[in-house]
Structure 1
Amino acid sequence: MRHYDLVVLGTGSGNMLLSEEFADLRTAIVEPGRFGGTCLNRGCIPSKMFVLTADAVEDARAAKRLGVHAGVDTVDWKAVRDRVFNRIDPIHESGLEYRRRSGVDVYTEEGRFVAPKVLQVGAERITADTFVVAIGSRPVVPDIPGLDTVPYHTSDTIMRIDEVPPSLVVLGGGFIAAEFSHVFSAFGADVTIVQRGPRLLMAEDEQVSARFTELAALRHRVLLDATTTSVARHGDGVAVTVELPDGGEQVIEAAMLLVSVGRRPNTDRLDATAGGLELDEHGHILADSAYRTSVPGVWALGDVVNHFQLKHMANAESRVVQHNVLHPEDVRTLTNTVAPHAVFTSPQIASVGLTEQAARRRGTDFLVSVRDYSDTAYGWALEDTTSFAKVLADPADRTILGAHIIGPQAATLIQPLIQAMSLGLTVDQVARDVLYIHPALTEVVEQALLAL
């Protein structure tokens, strides 16, 4: 039985831990998949490279509103795909070799706890003074009759297909469904979205969610309040039977099926409970604000411990855990509880803090301001008629409670509002004490703040 000072499980944000400060420790990494984790290999990075291409296609087709008569002859899917993965795939081998050259033992089989701080990896059993669990999450595969009898894709696999299907059924209405529906629609697929709820992107502010649903329905076939009751083969594709809100059924035939109904933490694959780790009802590891688990000397970070499933959150947690492992007598916590996110679909969406419906549900007093892109000079240049920025503020202390933007460059436009929330600045400070470039699109943020 080999013993280590530190064992890190997972090479997404967990791989960021091993800085030069750990050089004198005997360390090991356990990674049965590819170095870089979900984000690099099958998540945020490759998907956004596809999204950028889809945006270029959509911009070309929409240019006629600006007086530019352009079009798209073809989209070379294989060239796009290979550009993405020819850049990403070599990182696995280089990461693996780098760690081994630097004296870190790398185990490439799956690890499972057999007792607290005792890990079975293949035929070997290892122990350590300190474990960091950062094994991430994976797509949920729902229990739908017939699903196990048909070929289907999840976000793990769909980016590596050989050609764009003529038609695609997407089960789910969240981030992943929205982004891939945009990509494949732009590339020529006839997309049908099957969503159990009354709107797409239900976690967003209701006003944003409603606007996105309205716009998505102009590009895709969108079935709302619909339940998938069964799936069957249909030729080389699939037939998806859907129960509609009126009680009727509809069969949707398509060349390909994408299942994107959520993600689950990988704690079951780890036998976390055998390792003494306490879990919540969703399977996430319970940890305190310093990311200590129920087992002394075992820390956890990323998708396996939080519900955000955001790479930037996992990276911030990794920095905190890195300090705490090195300085257990002086632990830090992630003091910034503001967790922004973006959905890179069309139109782009970004959000931080309370939604209006959450504020009402909590009984939180708030002021709200909504400003259309079309109220700004740059919005005129874009000929934009559907995008807006929305800001909620506390009427007593005048700090920002939440911000929600739908439209071009939303993920960039929201950043000053994130900073204001993180630093505790008031609406007045951010609106009046800062100069906003005219006629930049950031004026939509300025105008929303001034209205408050």
Structure 2
Amino acid sequence: MKTIKTEVAVIGAGTAGMTAYRAATAGGKQAVLIESGPYGTTCARVGCMPSKLLIAAAEAAHAAKAAPAFGVHPGPVRIDGKAVMARVRAERDRFVGFVVEAVDGYPEADKLHGHARFIAENKLQVGDHTVVEAERFVIATGSTPIVPEEWAAAGPRVINSDAVFYWDDLPESIAIAGTGIIGLELGQALHRLGVRVTIFARGESIAQLSDPDVLAVARRALSGELDIRYETKVTTVELDGEQLVVTSTRLDGEQRTERFSHLLSAVGRRPNVHELGLEHTGLKRDHHGIPLFDKYTMQCQDGPIFIAGDADNDRPQLPEAADQGRIAGDNAARYPDVKPGLRRTPLTIAFTEPQIATAGASHEELCASHKGRFAVGKVSFENQGRSRVMLQNQGMLRVYGEFRSGRFLGAEMIGPRAEHIGHLLSWAAQAGLSVAAMLDMPFYHPVVEEGVRTALRDLAHQLANEPKHDDPCVDCTPAP
């Protein structure tokens, strides 16, 4: 076993790790990038890019089926599952290729392949071949989809979301456990591509929404198309020939047994921090085993170890992973002169239809930080002009502003063009704009953004007439 010495060791070559490596070397430090699996980020290989390819195919099929409502009759729609998945895989491989090409451009001496674990505060063992002694470290090991052991015991037809993008063809049916972004995006896409889909939700949550009014509209809108079983958990999964026998139990105790080709576990992801030998670092960790860290410097306690990306379980999204990796790499290079980096205003988008977006502070967060000190404005998209023109008139936008200052705080929505509206609103929140300043901005006609203006006008009215007793947080407490 050989020993090498370096200034910065980056564990993980995903989005956060690659960005940290580039930041550390740009800071003038010698760095090594360590990866145990294939090169190619989660986003490119099994995440945001291949999922959008599947969604794009589903949107094409849905548009053809919805065309008669406009008086356009294209004829029967035939979905070629093998062709759909061939395009998904081919384009996915193209995106992965760009990432691999970038890694190929790094000096060979800077790359190590194998599982890394701490064997001392300043020392890693990589596989069975190399010991790395470093002055500073960046943990960027990503996360892994969770599949409960009792489900996995039923065999390979119980899958996580990664497996979907290696299919050669579309299945006849699938059960999906989880109504987070991944479960909803894949569930709706597969449904629109002709797959029989049932989605199980342990509670009543939808994606990242916390505003009770928006959540209620989202449940109605999505349940109008999809078979979503709220307050229902998957209790047993058994293999029977080429199918799975899935038994589910509702909150009231009612049970139902059904057969599916697959069960997709979309119940969350687990940070990859449990086999890193963190017990040898002296770092304090939370109940999930994640080192305690400063989210503005990405520093773990006050030492030379930094953490970034999905590994820290804080906003697990590609833009956040890139920002965190940059901050961690910068600070690893300049340690001990650690400085806060830019953490942008939160923005989360689900590419369902209607789309779902949260921008800035969420309703739940404001109920904790601004209870009794914020107002709410809203608009329904049911009668919003451009939305009706497109036959996409479903959803609601709720916007939040601070009493006294009039500052815009955030928003939650489900509705048409939410991916674009979410950007506008997150920019406004990061810029610290007031609601009045936002209303001074130009609004064209006819556009969906006119709905934003309607909601902001309602919010401005609420801010100008601060009630003495009305509390927008009365529904914040989770249901029993």
AA partner of residue 50 (structure 1): L
With over 3 angstroms needed to count, the CA separation of the structure-2 counterparts of 1:291 and 1:416, relative to structure 1, is: same
Where do residues 300-339 of structure 1 align in structure 2 (5 Å cutoff)? 300-328=307-335, 330-336=337-343, 338-339=345-346
RMSD across aligned positions (CA): 2.2
Comparing 339-348 and 51-60, the one that deviates more: 51-60
User: SS at the partner of 2:325?
Assistant: helix
In structure 1, the residue matched to 2:6 is 4
Query: Is residue 111 from structure 1 mapped to residue 86 from structure 2 by the alignment?
Result: no
Q: Greater RCO between the two (CA within 8 Å, min separation 6)?
A: 2
User: SS at the partner of 2:340?
Assistant: coil
Q: CA deviation at 1:201?
A: 2.9
Q: CA deviation at 1:374?
A: 4.3
2:245 to 221, 239, 244: 239
AA partner of residue 193 (structure 1): I
Q: CA deviation at 1:357?
A: 4.8
Where do residues 255-274 of structure 1 align in structure 2 (5 Å cutoff)? 255-274=261-280
TM-score, normalising length from structure 2?
0.87
In structure 2, the residue matched to 1:46 is 50
In structure 1, the residue matched to 2:30 is 26
User: SS at the partner of 1:414?
Assistant: helix
AA partner of residue 95 (structure 2): I
Alignment partners' CA distance in 1, 2:170 and 2:337: 53
- Alpha-carbon contact 2:12-2:35 (below 8 Å) kept: yes
User: SS at the partner of 1:74?
Assistant: coil
Comparing 48-57 and 115-124, the one that deviates more: 48-57
User: SS at the partner of 1:54?
Assistant: helix
Where do residues 178-257 of structure 1 align in structure 2 (5 Å cutoff)? 178-201=184-207, 203-257=209-263
User: SS at the partner of 1:268?
Assistant: coil
With over 3 angstroms needed to count, the CA separation of the structure-2 counterparts of 1:48 and 1:204, relative to structure 1, is: farther
Query: Is residue 176 from structure 1 mapped to residue 179 from structure 2 by the alignment?
Result: no
Comparing 195-204 and 105-114, the one that deviates more: 195-204
In structure 1, the residue matched to 2:357 is 350
- Alpha-carbon contact 1:285-1:304 (below 8 Å) kept: no
Give CA-to-partner distance per residue, 1:298-328, whole Å, 9 cap, x none: 1111111243111111211222223323333
Q: CA deviation at 1:190?
A: 0.5
Stretches of structure 2 that go unaligned for 5 or more consecutive residues are: 460-480
- Alpha-carbon contact 1:277-1:295 (below 8 Å) kept: no
In structure 1, the residue matched to 2:381 is 373
In structure 1, the residue matched to 2:422 is 414
In structure 2, the residue matched to 1:441 is 448
Comparing 421-430 and 271-280, the one that deviates more: 271-280
Alignment partners' CA distance in 1, 2:454 and 2:209: 25
- Alpha-carbon contact 2:147-2:159 (below 8 Å) kept: no
In structure 1, the residue matched to 2:475 is none
With over 3 angstroms needed to count, the CA separation of the structure-2 counterparts of 1:103 and 1:172, relative to structure 1, is: same
TM-score, normalising length from structure 1?
0.92
In structure 1, the residue matched to 2:477 is none
Where do residues 143-154 of structure 1 align in structure 2 (5 Å cutoff)? 143-144=149-150, 147-149=153-155, 151-154=157-160
In structure 2, the residue matched to 1:74 is 79
Give CA-to-partner distance per residue, 1:120-164, whole Å, 9 cap, x none: 111221111111111111111224366354521101211111111
With over 3 angstroms needed to count, the CA separation of the structure-2 counterparts of 1:377 and 1:198, relative to structure 1, is: closer
Give CA-to-partner distance per residue, 1:319-349, whole Å, 9 cap, x none: 2223323333653324546211001112211
In structure 1, the residue matched to 2:472 is none
In structure 2, the residue matched to 1:164 is 170
User: SS at the partner of 1:49?
Assistant: helix
Alignment partners' CA distance in 1, 2:229 and 2:313: 31
AA partner of residue 115 (structure 1): A
AA partner of residue 30 (structure 1): I
In structure 1, the residue matched to 2:64 is 60
Alignment partners' CA distance in 2, 1:20 and 1:282: 28
With over 3 angstroms needed to count, the CA separation of the structure-2 counterparts of 1:33 and 1:82, relative to structure 1, is: same
User: SS at the partner of 1:19?
Assistant: helix
In structure 2, the residue matched to 1:17 is 20
User: SS at the partner of 2:270?
Assistant: strand
Alignment partners' CA distance in 2, 1:145 and 1:411: 34
State the aligned residue count.
Answer: 449
Stretches of structure 1 that go unaligned for 5 or more consecutive residues are: none
With over 3 angstroms needed to count, the CA separation of the structure-2 counterparts of 1:55 and 1:272, relative to structure 1, is: farther
- Alpha-carbon contact 1:27-1:104 (below 8 Å) kept: no
Alignment partners' CA distance in 2, 1:145 and 1:440: 46
With over 3 angstroms needed to count, the CA separation of the structure-2 counterparts of 1:396 and 1:333, relative to structure 1, is: same
